[in-house]
Structure 1
Amino acid sequence: MNIEEVRDYCLKLKNAEESFPFGEDTLVFKVEGKMFLAMSLNDEDPHVAVKCDPDEALLLRDRYKAVVPAHHFNKKHWNDIYLNRDMNDHDIRRWILHSYESVILQLPAAIRRKYEYV
């Protein structure tokens, strides 16, 4: 995947919004005001930061060279996934969706009801 494909995929998720809260070089995607993905627009080795279940985060780091603890986020809950390494596009989309769903599952029940993840 490239950063444009990541952007297109994120914007297809229900109520996903993009913003630049950390400056013009870092694109952030949020759902219900909560961040589920961040990516630098200027890195030579493009990558995305995604939220992840802590146990799954460790397993992914062991399985893929593309996955490392997120540089600027809580390393227990966030992974960086490098887009041009050994993780295929299908799995990258899967972990983006996992991040999105993780954020939704932490929202109050009244808000979660708008989604399939109650």
Structure 2
Amino acid sequence: MNGSTLQKTAADCAEELPGAELEHPFGPDWEVFKVRGKVFMLMTEVPGRPVVILKADPGEAQALREQYSHITSGYHMNKKHWITLEGGEGVEEELVRELVTDSYLLVVAHLPRAERPVDPRTYGTGTRAAR
């Protein structure tokens, strides 16, 4: 998957998530997706190539960086809790959609219960294992 396809896939997935909103708080070069005002995904070409920056569980983030050469530490973000995904071999649509959804659910899980647009423990369990 190339970089522009990566960003389109990630954006399409994010737009399907309940309560997700696209903003441009850092100018036109950054697309920032939020749920209830909290960031779960950023997209930019500022590093010289199209990238998607996502929140990730620290242990899972480490495993992803070891498994995929196209997944690195979060660009301009906390390196422990964020990953940067770029297009390349092994980066498939299913992986992108899963990482975007996981990022969203990590953020939703930390929202006050009354503000959650979905239950992060059960959302999407029809196609994914329950956490």
TM-score of the superposed pair, with normalisation by structure 2: 0.82
The answer to whether structure 1 residue 22 and structure 2 residue 46 are counterparts is no
Q: Which residue of 2 aligns with 1:115?
A: 118
The answer to whether structure 1 residue 72 and structure 2 residue 88 are counterparts is no
User: How many residues align structurally?
Assistant: 117
Quote how far apart the aligned CAs of 1:85 are: 3.7
Gap regions ≥5 residues in structure 1: none
In 2: Cα distance, 1:94 partner to 1:5 partner: 11
Quote how far apart the aligned CAs of 1:44 are: 5.1
Q: Which has the higher contact order (CA 8 A, sep 6+)?
A: 2
Indicate conservation of the 8 Å contact 2:53/2:83, yes or no: yes
Quote how far apart the aligned CAs of 1:47 are: 1.4
In 1: Cα distance, 2:93 partner to 2:112 partner: 31
Indicate conservation of the 8 Å contact 1:48/1:83, yes or no: no
Which runs of structure 1 show a deviation greater than 4 angstroms over 4 or more consecutive aligned residues?
41-44
Q: Which residue of 1 aligns with 2:129?
A: none
Gap regions ≥5 residues in structure 2: 122-131
Q: Which residue of 1 aligns with 2:125?
A: none
SS at match of 1:38: strand
In 1: Cα distance, 2:49 partner to 2:89 partner: 9
